[in-house]
C-alpha cells in the first residue's frame, strides 16, 4: 500500500506509521472509545510547541508541514506506544518522550487499531516546526508528530527551498503531557537523552 492511498484512508500520524507493514501486531488491551472521546471534548487548556531541532552531527529534525496528533493516553494508547517505540529496550526513549526513525526499523501494522487511530485530534506543523492545539480538555495525552531527519549538515533555508537531501529519513516523535485546568504547555522537543542517537546530542546555540 502506497502512502497516498494510506493517507486517503486516515489522515493521521499514527496511521502513516502503520502503513505497508510486514509485521502485524496485536494490542491485547481493549480500546475504551468512550473514554478517549470524552478526553477529546473541548476544555480550557492550550498545547503548543516546536519541533525543529539541530543535532551536533548536523542532522536537522523537523515536523515542518507534517501532521501532529493529540492522542488520549488510554491504556490502549500506552500499549501502542510501548510496542511502536520499543520502550522495553529503551532504544528510542521512555513512555514520557520517545522517537522512531522508520527506515531503520521493521514496519508494523496494528491489527484492529482503526478506532484508536480515528479517536485523535490533529493539526499540522508550519514551516518553522510550530504547532498548537487550543481548548484541550484535562487528562494525559501523547503528542505524536510526523518528522523528517535530514542527515546532511545544511542550512535550514536551503531545506525549505527545495534542496534534495539524499540522507533524509522519515520518522516520528512522541511526548506525554498532563493537563489540568487552564494549563498552557509549550513543548520544545529534544531527544530524550544524549546517549540516544549515537551520542550525537544537541547542537550548541540552536
The residue-averaged pLDDT of 79-85 equals: 95
Q: What percent of the chain has pLDDT over 70?
A: 73
pTM: 0.78
Residue with cell 542532522: 59
- Alpha-carbon distance of 206 to 195, in angstroms, equals 19
Beta bridge partners of 48: 132, 186
48 vs 199, which has greater pLDDT?
48
Burial environment of residue 104 by CB neighbours within 10 A (0 to 12, 13 to 18, 19 or more): exposed
Q: Is the pLDDT of residue 26 over 70?
A: yes
- Alpha-carbon distance of 182 to 164, in angstroms, equals 43
Q: What percent of the chain has pLDDT over 90?
A: 54
What pLDDT does 22 receive?
56
Amino acid at each position: 500500500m502506497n502512502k497516498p492511498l494510506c493517507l486517503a484512508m486516515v489522515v493521521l500520524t499514527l496511521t502513516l506509521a502503520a502503513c505497508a507493514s510486514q509485521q502485524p501486531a496485536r494490542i491485547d488491551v481493549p480500546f475504551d472509545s468512550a473514554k478517549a472521546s470524552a478526553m477529546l471534548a473541548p476544555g480550557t487548556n492550550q498545547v503548543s510547541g516546536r519541533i525543529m531541532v539541530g543535532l551536533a552531527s548536523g542532522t536537522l529534525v523537523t515536523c515542518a508541514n507534517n501532521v501532529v496528533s493529540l492522542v488520549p493516553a488510554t491504556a490502549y494508547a500506552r500499549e501502542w506506544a510501548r510496542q511502536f517505540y520499543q520502550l522495553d529496550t529503551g532504544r528510542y526513549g521512555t513512555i514520557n518522550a520517545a522517537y522512531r526513525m522508520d527506515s531503520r526499523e521493521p514496519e508494523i501494522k496494528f491489527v484492529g487499531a482503526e478506532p484508536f487511530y480515528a479517536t485523535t485530534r490533529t493539526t499540522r506543523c508550519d514551516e518553522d516546526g510550530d504547532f498548537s492545539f487550543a481548548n484541550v480538555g484535562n487528562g494525559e495525552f501523547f503528542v505524536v508528530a510526523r518528522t523528517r531527519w535530514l542527515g546532511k549538515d545544511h542550512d535550514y533555508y536551503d531545506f525549505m527551498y527545495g534542496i534534495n537531501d539524499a540522507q533524509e529519513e522519515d520518522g516520528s516523535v512522541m511526548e506525554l503531557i498532563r493537563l489540568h485546568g487552564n494549563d498552557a504547555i509549550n513543548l520544545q522537543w529534544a531527544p530524550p537523552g544524549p546517549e540516544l542517537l549515537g551520542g550525537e546530542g544537541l547542537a550548541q546555540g540552536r
